[in-house]
A = this chain, B = another copy of it.
Amino acid sequence: MTQELFAKYSFLLDRTARKVKQYAQQQFKSGEFDVTVDQWLVLKNLSENELLSQTELANLVFKDHPTLTRIIDLLCKKGYVERITHPQDRRSFQLHLTESGVAKVTALKPKVLEIREKAWENLNETDFEEFKRILNTIYQNLDGQTIEE
């Protein structure tokens, strides 16, 4: 296999990832979800893990701290999340879904799953397992850390 192909696959990977995000974002918008795709990822993780710190959440969703700070800012402004000062550590916050945030997650969850499903038409479960394996291999090659799943 020639080196040129490696570069081509990097291009395909980037192009597909952007398309997946763009498609979901369009559906979010037309459905008036009132959150972006990335904001949704954060909300969903908060609904599954209460009282996370921003650092813990950043590790869960694989976003860096400045990005997470701004996403949390926006979610607070929209009233879905609250920052609660950590009782023992004044540098840190415990993130808390508001009632409105919980309701948002409940309302959107099935709709998001339906949107995500669209990408897998004409593909089966074996494809999915292969895809996951290859993506994780690539990630590990460049990260040097193990990924469990």
Contact = CB atoms under 8 A, between A and B. Distances in A.
B1 A128 contact: yes
Interface of A: 1, 3-24, 26-27, 29-30, 41, 62, 112-114, 116-125, 127-128, 130-132, 134-139, 141-143, 145, 147-149
Nearest to A27: B147
A23 B130 contact: no
A6 B120 contact: yes
Contacts of A114: 3
Contact of A139 (B10, B19, B62, B112): B19
18 contacts: A3-B113, A4-B113, A6-B117, A6-B119, A9-B131, A10-B119, A12-B131, A12-B135, A14-B21, A15-B62, A18-B62, A19-B142, A23-B142, A26-B147, A27-B147, A118-B141, A121-B137, A122-B137
